[in-house]
């Protein structure tokens, strides 16, 4: 579960560091650069959360948001443009974590602060890193699947597929490490695994379709690293006529994933309200442009870091976490196609 008390305390601690510094952070430009549009979360949650938090902290500051659409060269151009506009701080979720090292060096030379967001930058320390615990995410979704298979009496030695994220995304590597921890310690065999270019669902779908032809009924479950790759995986099974579809994991708690969980075609996802991390990133950016140093809870890749703890969502706890927790409303999720499933779970009457 999102540790709400801890998360709130962590954000509050960052906020406390900004008190008394407001006068020094007027009319600054702050960039918010996101990596792709394969996931809807950036437009739906991350940017609005960051924009609104910055508006409260610094009404006169200008927030510049851009999305690189999975193009590292485009992201470099966007980064260069922000530098040229005189940005004081840039929140960067890199398309390519390795290529982002040169952006950090460029910013350091211009005395511009870089806050790595969601995806770390391993090769060169950024000024700060804000994210959910990605290793913990991978471990949690995979262990949830393992526990489910055991509860369902699936025999030891049965096979699962592993659909990882983008090979250029360091966060995807951390999620993969967590998945490996859970699967390697389980009674189940990883039949094959795939690093999905740019997290693109069609790439995941094509690969899984090939594995269905190769392994057929040997596949008893799939650990997919996010909801987009989960959607591609489920589409591949549907196209192959597989019924029932084996349990598939996810991550991000997108509306589409919540609907699939309600319908029973996706087994789990990760609830990690991006607004929490976006708000923390705004606090860090504001602290930096106010001439102060934000407090870190830990260090990752030699970068001061703040990591939040997420929770696995399944059909068993979706009402409590998502709806009772106020993350989404029934009106957002329970569209006409999913009314029956929502009634079954008591989400709507």
CA–CA distances in Å: residue 166 to residues 23, 77, 119, 179, 220? 42, 21, 11, 15, 24
DSSP string for residues in 30-69: EEEEE--SSSTHIIIIIHHHHHHHHHHH-TTPEEEEEE-T
Q: How far apart are CA 267 and CA 257, in angstroms?
A: 9
Q: How far apart are CA 257 and CA 116, in angstroms?
A: 26
Dihedral over Cα of 334, 335, 341, 344: its sign: positive
Q: How many residues does the chain have?
A: 349
Dihedral over Cα of 67, 72, 76, 81: its sign: negative
Q: What CATH code would you report for 134-271+311-345?
A: 3.40.50.2300
Q: How far apart are CA 218 and CA 339, in angstroms?
A: 33
Q: How far apart are CA 41 and CA 26, in angstroms?
A: 29
Residues 6+ apart with CB under 8 A from 9: none
Closest CA to 32 of 99, 132, 118: 118
* Residue-level pLDDT at 1: 39
CA–CA distances in Å: residue 57 to residues 51, 61, 63, 108? 10, 9, 12, 24
Class of 4-132+273-308 in CATH: alpha beta
The two tokens of residue 330 are: 């029934």
CA–CA distances in Å: residue 299 to residues 23, 69, 126, 172? 30, 29, 11, 18
Is 71 in a helix, a strand, or coil?
coil
**With 60 as the cut, is the pLDDT of residue 111 above it?**
yes
CA–CA distances in Å: residue 56 to residues 7, 144, 150, 280? 19, 38, 48, 13
**With 90 as the cut, is the pLDDT of residue 2 above it?**
no
- Average pLDDT over the chain reads 93
* Residue-level pLDDT at 27: 82
> Residues 165-211: pLDDT tens digits?
999 999 999 999 999 999 999 999 999 999 999 999 999 999 999 99
**With 90 as the cut, is the pLDDT of residue 31 above it?**
yes
Per-residue confidence band for 25, with pLDDT thresholds at 50, 70 and 90: low
**With 70 as the cut, is the pLDDT of residue 233 above it?**
yes
Closest CA to 138 of 37, 268, 281: 268
Is 136 in a helix, a strand, or coil?
helix
Closest CA to 120 of 311, 306, 312, 310: 306
Q: How far apart are CA 202 and CA 196, in angstroms?
A: 9
Domains of the chain, residue spans: 4-132+273-308, 134-271+311-345
Per-residue confidence band for 24, with pLDDT thresholds at 50, 70 and 90: low
* Residue-level pLDDT at 291: 96
Per-residue confidence band for 26, with pLDDT thresholds at 50, 70 and 90: low
- 124: Cα within 13 Å, side-chain hemisphere: 15
* Residue-level pLDDT at 41: 85
Region class of 140: left (phi > 0), else alpha (psi between -120 and 50), else beta: alpha
Per-residue confidence band for 126, with pLDDT thresholds at 50, 70 and 90: very high
CA triplet 329, 334, 338: central angle to 5 degrees? 160
> Residues 268-290: pLDDT tens digits?
999 988 899 999 999 999 999 99
Closest CA to 42 of 115, 114, 108, 93: 93
């Amino acid at each position: 579960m999102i540790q709400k008390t801890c998360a709130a305390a962590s954000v509050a601690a960052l906020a406390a560091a900004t008190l008394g510094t407001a006068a020094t952070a007027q009319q600054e430009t702050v960039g918010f650069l996101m990596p792709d549009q394969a996931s809807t979360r950036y437009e739906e949650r991350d940017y609005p959360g960051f924009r609104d938090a910055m508006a409260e902290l610094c009404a006169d500051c200008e927030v510049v948001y851009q999305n690189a659409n999975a193009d590292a060269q485009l992201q470099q151009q966007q980064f260069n443009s922000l530098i040229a506009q005189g940005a004081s701080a840039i929140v960067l979720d890199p398309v390519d974590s390795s290529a982002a090292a040169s952006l950090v060096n460029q910013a350091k030379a211009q005395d511009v602060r870089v806050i790595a967001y969601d995806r770390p930058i391993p090769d060169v320390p950024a000024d700060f890193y804000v994210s959910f615990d990605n290793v913990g995410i991978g471990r949690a979704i995979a262990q949830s699947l393992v526990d489910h298979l055991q509860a369902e009496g699936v025999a030891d030695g049965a096979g699962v597929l592993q659909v990882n994220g983008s090979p250029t995304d360091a966060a995807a590597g951390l999620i993969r490490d967590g998945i490996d921890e859970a699967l390697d310690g389980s009674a189940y065999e990883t039949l094959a695994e795939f690093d999905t270019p740019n997290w693109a669902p069609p790439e995941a779908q094509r690969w899984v379709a090939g594995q269905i032809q190769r392994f057929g009924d040997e596949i008893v479950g799939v650990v997919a690293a996010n909801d987009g790759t989960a959607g591609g995986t489920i589409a591949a099974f549907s196209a192959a006529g597989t019924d029932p579809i084996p349990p598939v994991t996810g991550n991000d708690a997108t509306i589409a994933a919540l609907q699939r969980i309600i319908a029973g075609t996706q087994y789990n996802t990760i609830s990690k309200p991006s607004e929490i991390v976006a708000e923390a990133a705004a606090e860090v950016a504001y602290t930096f442009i106010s001439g102060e140093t934000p407090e870190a809870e830990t260090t990752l890749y030699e970068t001061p870091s703040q990591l939040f703890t997420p929770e696995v969502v399944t059909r068993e706890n979706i009402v409590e976490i998502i709806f009772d927790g106020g993350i989404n409303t029934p009106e957002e999720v329970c569209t006409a196609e999913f009314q029956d499933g929502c009634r079954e779970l008591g989400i709507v009457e």
